[in-house]
Protein backbone atom coordinates (compact mmCIF):
# COMPACT_ATOMS: atom_id res chain seq x y z
CA UNK A 1 0.00 0.00 0.00
CA UNK A 2 1.26 3.46 -0.89
CA UNK A 3 2.08 5.47 2.23
CA UNK A 4 0.62 8.95 2.51
CA UNK A 5 2.83 11.88 3.50
CA UNK A 6 1.83 15.43 4.39
CA UNK A 7 4.44 17.81 2.97
CA UNK A 8 4.85 21.34 4.30
CA UNK A 9 5.15 23.48 1.16
CA UNK A 10 6.46 27.02 1.54
CA UNK A 11 6.52 27.98 -2.12
CA UNK A 12 10.31 27.75 -2.21
CA UNK A 13 12.51 25.52 -4.32
CA UNK A 14 13.44 23.12 -1.50
CA UNK A 15 9.96 21.97 -0.50
CA UNK A 16 8.93 21.99 -4.16
CA UNK A 17 11.69 19.57 -5.15
CA UNK A 18 10.96 17.59 -1.98
CA UNK A 19 7.49 16.96 -3.41
CA UNK A 20 8.99 15.69 -6.65
CA UNK A 21 11.45 13.42 -4.84
CA UNK A 22 8.67 11.93 -2.70
CA UNK A 23 6.60 11.22 -5.79
CA UNK A 24 9.59 9.44 -7.34
CA UNK A 25 9.69 7.28 -4.22
CA UNK A 26 6.03 6.35 -4.77
CA UNK A 27 4.57 8.24 -1.81
CA UNK A 28 1.02 9.61 -1.81
CA UNK A 29 1.92 13.29 -1.35
CA UNK A 30 -0.42 15.92 0.06
CA UNK A 31 0.92 19.49 -0.07
CA UNK A 32 0.06 21.85 2.77
CA UNK A 33 0.72 25.59 3.02
CA UNK A 34 0.49 26.97 6.55
CA UNK A 35 -1.07 30.41 6.66
CA UNK A 36 0.08 32.53 9.59
CA UNK A 37 -2.66 35.14 9.39
CA UNK A 38 -0.52 38.28 9.26
CA UNK A 39 -1.53 41.18 7.05
CA UNK A 40 0.22 39.86 3.96
CA UNK A 41 -2.19 36.94 3.67
CA UNK A 42 -5.95 37.05 3.21
CA UNK A 43 -8.47 34.50 4.34
CA UNK A 44 -8.89 31.50 2.12
CA UNK A 45 -12.48 31.48 0.89
CA UNK A 46 -14.59 28.86 -0.72
CA UNK A 47 -16.78 29.42 -3.73
CA UNK A 48 -19.66 30.68 -1.58
CA UNK A 49 -17.45 33.42 -0.09
CA UNK A 50 -17.29 31.93 3.40
CA UNK A 51 -13.98 31.26 5.16
CA UNK A 52 -12.97 27.62 5.12
CA UNK A 53 -12.64 25.68 8.37
CA UNK A 54 -9.23 24.91 9.89
CA UNK A 55 -8.77 21.64 8.08
CA UNK A 56 -9.96 21.97 4.46
CA UNK A 57 -7.91 18.89 3.65
CA UNK A 58 -10.87 16.82 4.91
CA UNK A 59 -13.14 18.35 2.28
CA UNK A 60 -13.01 18.29 -1.48
CA UNK A 61 -10.26 20.29 -3.07
CA UNK A 62 -11.13 23.92 -3.80
CA UNK A 63 -11.67 24.58 -7.46
CA UNK A 64 -10.00 27.96 -7.76
CA UNK A 65 -6.42 27.93 -9.05
CA UNK A 66 -5.10 31.32 -8.01
CA UNK A 67 -4.11 30.05 -4.57
CA UNK A 68 -5.85 30.14 -1.22
CA UNK A 69 -3.68 32.99 0.02
CA UNK A 70 -2.97 36.26 -1.69
CA UNK A 71 0.66 35.90 -0.58
CA UNK A 72 2.99 35.11 -3.47
CA UNK A 73 4.51 32.14 -1.64
CA UNK A 74 1.15 30.44 -1.37
CA UNK A 75 0.56 31.02 -5.06
CA UNK A 76 3.97 29.56 -5.90
CA UNK A 77 3.28 26.52 -3.74
CA UNK A 78 -0.07 25.89 -5.41
CA UNK A 79 1.42 26.23 -8.89
CA UNK A 80 4.07 23.64 -8.02
CA UNK A 81 1.39 21.30 -6.67
CA UNK A 82 -0.63 21.73 -9.87
CA UNK A 83 2.47 21.11 -11.97
CA UNK A 84 3.22 17.88 -10.08
CA UNK A 85 -0.42 16.81 -9.89
CA UNK A 86 -0.70 16.55 -6.12
CA UNK A 87 -3.52 17.87 -3.90
CA UNK A 88 -2.76 21.16 -2.18
CA UNK A 89 -4.42 22.86 0.77
CA UNK A 90 -3.84 26.09 2.66
CA UNK A 91 -4.37 25.52 6.39
CA UNK A 92 -5.22 28.36 8.75
CA UNK A 93 -2.56 28.30 11.48
CA UNK A 94 -3.27 31.76 12.82
CA UNK A 95 -3.92 30.59 16.38
CA UNK A 96 -0.75 28.47 16.40
CA UNK A 97 1.35 31.28 14.97
CA UNK A 98 0.01 33.66 17.61
CA UNK A 99 1.88 31.60 20.20
CA UNK A 100 5.09 32.08 18.22
CA UNK A 101 4.47 35.82 17.84
CA UNK A 102 3.89 36.17 21.60
CA UNK A 103 7.11 34.27 22.29
CA UNK A 104 8.99 36.46 19.77
CA UNK A 105 7.82 39.71 21.37
CA UNK A 106 8.33 38.50 24.94
CA UNK A 107 11.89 37.29 24.33
CA UNK A 108 13.03 40.54 22.74
CA UNK A 109 11.60 42.52 25.63
CA UNK A 110 13.52 40.34 28.07
CA UNK A 111 16.75 41.26 26.31
CA UNK A 112 17.09 37.88 24.63
CA UNK A 113 17.38 36.94 20.95
CA UNK A 114 14.47 34.64 19.98
CA UNK A 115 14.53 31.97 17.30
CA UNK A 116 10.95 31.68 16.02
CA UNK A 117 11.94 29.32 13.20
CA UNK A 118 13.08 26.72 15.73
CA UNK A 119 9.86 27.09 17.69
CA UNK A 120 7.83 26.86 14.49
CA UNK A 121 9.43 23.49 13.82
CA UNK A 122 8.83 22.37 17.41
CA UNK A 123 5.25 23.56 17.77
CA UNK A 124 3.83 23.56 14.24
CA UNK A 125 5.76 21.79 11.47
CA UNK A 126 6.68 18.83 13.66
CA UNK A 127 4.02 19.44 16.25
CA UNK A 128 0.55 20.43 15.12
CA UNK A 129 1.17 19.21 11.58
CA UNK A 130 1.38 15.65 12.90
CA UNK A 131 -2.15 16.11 14.26
CA UNK A 132 -3.27 16.96 10.72
CA UNK A 133 -1.36 14.01 9.33
CA UNK A 134 -3.16 11.71 11.77
CA UNK A 135 -6.50 13.21 10.76
CA UNK A 136 -6.00 12.27 7.11
CA UNK A 137 -4.33 8.91 7.62
CA UNK A 138 -0.82 10.06 6.71
CA UNK A 139 2.05 8.08 8.19
CA UNK A 140 4.67 10.74 7.56
CA UNK A 141 5.28 14.47 7.70
CA UNK A 142 7.93 15.90 5.37
CA UNK A 143 9.65 19.24 4.85
CA UNK A 144 12.34 20.70 2.63
CA UNK A 145 14.93 21.06 5.40
CA UNK A 146 18.58 20.28 4.67
CA UNK A 147 19.07 17.57 7.28
CA UNK A 148 19.08 13.77 7.25
CA UNK A 149 17.44 10.93 9.14
CA UNK A 150 19.65 7.86 9.34
CA UNK A 151 19.15 4.47 11.00
CA UNK A 152 20.97 4.04 14.31
CA UNK A 153 20.65 0.29 14.81
CA UNK A 154 19.09 0.92 18.20
CA UNK A 155 15.70 -0.60 18.95
CA UNK A 156 14.61 2.17 21.30
CA UNK A 157 15.63 4.95 18.88
CA UNK A 158 15.77 3.56 15.33
CA UNK A 159 16.52 6.89 13.63
CA UNK A 160 18.86 9.76 14.42
CA UNK A 161 18.93 13.33 13.13
CA UNK A 162 22.08 14.25 11.18
CA UNK A 163 23.49 17.28 9.42
CA UNK A 164 22.69 17.67 5.72
CA UNK A 165 25.51 16.90 3.31
CA UNK A 166 25.60 20.54 2.12
CA UNK A 167 27.42 22.28 4.97
CA UNK A 168 26.52 25.69 3.56
CA UNK A 169 22.78 24.94 3.82
CA UNK A 170 22.58 22.53 6.76
CA UNK A 171 19.39 23.08 8.82
CA UNK A 172 19.73 20.35 11.43
CA UNK A 173 20.22 23.07 14.07
CA UNK A 174 16.66 24.27 13.55
CA UNK A 175 15.26 20.75 14.02
CA UNK A 176 17.00 19.95 17.32
CA UNK A 177 13.91 20.64 19.42
CA UNK A 178 11.46 18.26 17.76
CA UNK A 179 9.98 15.39 19.74
CA UNK A 180 12.22 12.38 19.18
CA UNK A 181 9.21 10.07 18.93
CA UNK A 182 8.50 11.71 15.58
CA UNK A 183 11.90 10.93 14.01
CA UNK A 184 10.62 7.65 12.60
CA UNK A 185 7.65 9.47 11.05
CA UNK A 186 9.64 12.27 9.43
CA UNK A 187 10.93 12.51 5.87
CA UNK A 188 13.60 15.01 4.80
CA UNK A 189 14.03 14.36 1.07
CA UNK A 190 16.51 17.13 0.19
CA UNK A 191 19.00 16.54 3.03
CA UNK A 192 21.11 14.21 0.92
CA UNK A 193 21.62 16.81 -1.83
CA UNK A 194 23.55 20.02 -2.32
CA UNK A 195 21.54 23.17 -2.96
CA UNK A 196 22.89 23.42 -6.51
CA UNK A 197 21.56 19.93 -7.25
CA UNK A 198 18.13 20.87 -5.94
CA UNK A 199 17.97 23.91 -8.22
CA UNK A 200 19.08 21.78 -11.16
CA UNK A 201 16.34 19.25 -10.43
CA UNK A 202 13.75 22.00 -10.19
CA UNK A 203 14.78 23.37 -13.57
CA UNK A 204 14.85 19.91 -15.14
CA UNK A 205 11.24 19.20 -14.25
CA UNK A 206 10.09 22.67 -15.26
CA UNK A 207 9.36 24.25 -11.87
CA UNK A 208 9.17 28.04 -12.06
CA UNK A 209 10.64 28.33 -8.55
CA UNK A 210 13.99 26.86 -9.70
CA UNK A 211 15.70 30.25 -9.42
CA UNK A 212 13.63 31.65 -6.56
CA UNK A 213 15.77 33.27 -3.87
CA UNK A 214 15.89 31.73 -0.42
CA UNK A 215 13.81 33.53 2.17
CA UNK A 216 15.92 35.54 4.61
CA UNK A 217 13.14 37.04 6.71
CA UNK A 218 10.86 35.77 9.45
CA UNK A 219 7.60 34.89 7.73
CA UNK A 220 5.27 36.74 10.08
CA UNK A 221 7.36 39.94 10.19
CA UNK A 222 6.17 40.93 6.75
CA UNK A 223 7.78 44.40 6.94
CA UNK A 224 11.20 42.99 7.81
CA UNK A 225 11.42 45.50 10.68
CA UNK A 226 11.66 43.32 13.78
CA UNK A 227 11.93 46.09 16.37
CA UNK A 228 8.88 47.93 15.03
CA UNK A 229 6.95 44.65 14.93
CA UNK A 230 7.66 44.17 18.65
CA UNK A 231 6.73 47.76 19.55
CA UNK A 232 3.46 47.53 17.66
CA UNK A 233 2.47 44.58 19.85
CA UNK A 234 3.47 45.94 23.24
CA UNK A 235 2.91 49.07 25.30
CA UNK A 236 6.23 48.67 27.14
CA UNK A 237 8.86 51.37 26.74
CA UNK A 238 12.29 49.77 26.79
CA UNK A 239 14.34 52.81 25.72
CA UNK A 240 17.47 53.59 27.70
CA UNK A 241 21.22 54.15 27.66
CA UNK A 242 24.05 52.75 25.59
CA UNK A 243 27.14 52.21 27.74
CA UNK A 244 30.60 50.71 27.29
CA UNK A 245 31.74 47.67 29.25
CA UNK A 246 33.53 50.12 31.55
CA UNK A 247 30.20 51.80 32.32
CA UNK A 248 30.66 55.01 30.34
CA UNK A 249 27.42 56.36 28.88
CA UNK A 250 27.98 56.99 25.16
CA UNK A 251 24.44 57.36 23.85
CA UNK A 252 20.78 56.43 24.09
CA UNK A 253 18.49 54.03 22.25
CA UNK A 254 14.80 53.70 21.47
CA UNK A 255 14.32 50.16 22.81
CA UNK A 256 16.31 47.03 23.63
CA UNK A 257 14.25 45.09 21.10
CA UNK A 258 16.32 46.58 18.28
CA UNK A 259 19.53 44.94 19.49
CA UNK A 260 21.08 41.49 19.67
CA UNK A 261 24.39 40.18 21.00
CA UNK A 262 27.15 40.57 18.42
CA UNK A 263 25.38 43.35 16.53
CA UNK A 264 27.68 45.94 14.97
CA UNK A 265 25.51 47.93 12.57
CA UNK A 266 22.67 50.20 13.62
CA UNK A 267 24.07 51.19 17.02
CA UNK A 268 23.44 54.86 16.26
CA UNK A 269 26.75 56.06 17.71
CA UNK A 270 30.25 56.65 16.33
CA UNK A 271 33.11 55.30 18.43
CA UNK A 272 35.94 55.74 15.94
CA UNK A 273 36.43 51.97 15.67
CA UNK A 274 34.14 48.93 15.45
CA UNK A 275 32.03 48.30 18.55
CA UNK A 276 29.58 45.46 19.15
CA UNK A 277 26.67 44.74 21.45
CA UNK A 278 28.15 42.50 24.17
CA UNK A 279 25.29 42.53 26.69
CA UNK A 280 21.67 43.60 26.98
CA UNK A 281 20.60 44.59 30.50
CA UNK A 282 16.83 44.20 30.24
CA UNK A 283 16.14 45.21 33.86
CA UNK A 284 17.76 48.61 33.39
CA UNK A 285 17.08 48.95 29.65
CA UNK A 286 20.81 49.33 29.00
CA UNK A 287 22.72 48.15 25.95
CA UNK A 288 26.38 47.40 26.68
CA UNK A 289 28.88 47.71 23.82
CA UNK A 290 32.52 46.74 23.52
CA UNK A 291 35.31 45.79 21.14
CA UNK A 292 35.29 42.47 19.34
CA UNK A 293 37.47 40.61 21.84
CA UNK A 294 35.03 41.61 24.58
CA UNK A 295 32.39 39.45 22.88
CA UNK A 296 34.38 36.32 23.70
CA UNK A 297 32.71 33.68 25.88
CA UNK A 298 34.09 30.33 26.94
CA UNK A 299 31.12 29.11 28.98
CA UNK A 300 27.35 29.07 28.82
CA UNK A 301 24.45 27.49 30.62
CA UNK A 302 21.35 26.33 28.78
CA UNK A 303 17.95 25.38 30.17
CA UNK A 304 14.74 23.71 29.00
CA UNK A 305 16.90 21.10 27.30
CA UNK A 306 15.47 18.69 24.77
CA UNK A 307 17.10 15.39 23.86
CA UNK A 308 17.13 13.20 20.76
CA UNK A 309 19.03 10.57 22.77
CA UNK A 310 18.82 9.45 26.37
CA UNK A 311 20.66 12.18 28.34
CA UNK A 312 22.64 9.55 30.24
CA UNK A 313 24.04 8.34 26.90
CA UNK A 314 25.69 11.71 26.21
CA UNK A 315 29.31 11.00 25.14
CA UNK A 316 32.11 12.46 27.24
CA UNK A 317 34.31 13.30 24.27
CA UNK A 318 34.03 14.35 20.64
CA UNK A 319 31.21 16.84 21.19
CA UNK A 320 30.65 20.21 19.55
CA UNK A 321 28.07 22.91 20.23
CA UNK A 322 26.43 25.30 17.76
CA UNK A 323 25.21 28.60 19.23
CA UNK A 324 23.39 30.13 16.26
CA UNK A 325 21.70 28.95 13.09
CA UNK A 326 24.37 30.43 10.81
CA UNK A 327 27.44 29.48 12.88
CA UNK A 328 29.63 26.37 12.88
CA UNK A 329 29.58 23.83 15.73
CA UNK A 330 32.58 24.39 18.01
CA UNK A 331 34.43 21.78 20.10
CA UNK A 332 33.18 21.83 23.67
CA UNK A 333 32.71 19.84 26.85
CA UNK A 334 29.09 19.43 27.97
CA UNK A 335 28.13 18.77 31.57
CA UNK A 336 24.67 17.57 32.53
CA UNK A 337 23.43 19.64 35.46
CA UNK A 338 20.08 17.89 35.13
CA UNK A 339 18.01 16.44 32.31
CA UNK A 340 16.79 19.98 31.67
CA UNK A 341 20.00 21.98 32.16
CA UNK A 342 23.54 21.82 30.78
CA UNK A 343 26.82 23.69 31.20
CA UNK A 344 29.05 24.11 28.16
CA UNK A 345 32.80 24.84 28.18
CA UNK A 346 34.18 25.76 24.77
CA UNK A 347 37.67 24.65 23.81
CA UNK A 348 38.24 28.09 22.25
CA UNK A 349 36.35 31.34 22.89
CA UNK A 350 33.04 31.64 21.06
CA UNK A 351 31.80 35.00 19.81
CA UNK A 352 28.23 36.27 19.70
CA UNK A 353 26.77 33.83 22.23
CA UNK A 354 23.28 35.25 22.77
CA UNK A 355 20.82 34.37 25.54
CA UNK A 356 17.58 33.22 23.93
CA UNK A 357 19.29 31.28 21.15
CA UNK A 358 19.50 27.50 21.04
CA UNK A 359 22.73 25.69 21.93
CA UNK A 360 22.69 22.46 19.90
CA UNK A 361 24.94 19.53 20.79
CA UNK A 362 26.51 17.42 18.03
CA UNK A 363 28.56 14.24 18.07
CA UNK A 364 30.15 14.37 14.67
CA UNK A 365 27.26 15.03 12.24
CA UNK A 366 24.58 13.69 14.60
CA UNK A 367 22.30 15.97 16.62
CA UNK A 368 22.05 14.82 20.23
CA UNK A 369 19.90 17.59 21.68
CA UNK A 370 20.10 21.16 22.89
CA UNK A 371 18.86 23.81 25.25
CA UNK A 372 18.04 27.52 25.34
CA UNK A 373 20.98 29.72 26.30
CA UNK A 374 20.28 31.62 29.53
CA UNK A 375 23.69 32.89 30.69
CA UNK A 376 27.25 33.19 29.42
CA UNK A 377 30.63 33.89 30.97
CA UNK A 378 34.35 34.07 30.29
CA UNK A 379 36.74 31.96 32.32
CA UNK A 380 39.54 34.57 32.06
CA UNK A 381 39.66 37.18 34.80
CA UNK A 382 39.43 39.93 32.20
CA UNK A 383 38.48 39.98 28.53
CA UNK A 384 41.59 42.05 27.85
CA UNK A 385 43.58 38.81 28.02
CA UNK A 386 42.25 37.99 24.55
CA UNK A 387 43.78 39.59 21.46
CA UNK A 388 41.71 42.15 19.52
CA UNK A 389 40.05 41.20 16.27
CA UNK A 390 42.52 40.97 13.38
Tell me, yes or no, if 120 is annotated catalytic: yes
Burial of 162 (0-12, 13-18, 19+ CB in 10 A): buried
State the pairing for strand pair 358-363/319-322. antiparallel
Distance CA 376, CA 345 (A): 10
- 201 HSE (CA, 13 A, CB side): 18
Backbone angles phi, psi at 130, to 5 degrees: -70, -30
Residue of 44, 68, 69, 219 marked active site: 219
- Tell me, letter by letter, the H, E, C secondary structure of the chain: CCCEEEEECCCCHHHHHHHHHHHHCCCEEEEEEEECCCCCCCCCECCCCCECCCCHHHCCCCCCCCCCCCCHHHHHHHHHHHHHCCCEEEEECHHHHHHHHHHHHHHHHCCCCCCHHHHHHHHHHHHHHHHHHHHCCCCEEECCCCEEEEECCCCCCCEEEEECCCCCCCCHHHHCCCCHHHHHHEECCCCCCCHHHHHHHHHHCCCHHHHCCCCCCCCCCCCCCHHHHHHHCCCCCCCEEEEECCCCEEEEECCHHHCCCCCCCCCCCCCCCCCEEEEEECCCCEEEEECHHHHEEEEEEEEEEEECCCHHHCCCCCEEEECCCCCCCEEEEEEEEECCEEEEEEEEEEECCCCCCEEEEEECCEEEEEEEEEEEECCCCCHHHCCCCC
User: Which positions are annotated as active-site residues?
Assistant: 120, 219
Amino acid sequence: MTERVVLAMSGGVDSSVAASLLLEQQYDVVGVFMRHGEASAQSCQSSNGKENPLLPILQGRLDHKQGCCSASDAIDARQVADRLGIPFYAIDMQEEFRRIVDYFVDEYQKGRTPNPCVQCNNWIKFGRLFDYADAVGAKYVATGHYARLLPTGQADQPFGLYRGIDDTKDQSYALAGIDRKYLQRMLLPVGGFHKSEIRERAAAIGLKVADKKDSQEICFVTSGKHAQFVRDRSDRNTSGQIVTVEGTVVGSHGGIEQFTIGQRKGLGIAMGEPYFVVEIDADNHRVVIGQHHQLARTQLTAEDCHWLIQPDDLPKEGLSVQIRYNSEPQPAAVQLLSDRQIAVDFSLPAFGVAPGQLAVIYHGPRVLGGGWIRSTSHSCSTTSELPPQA
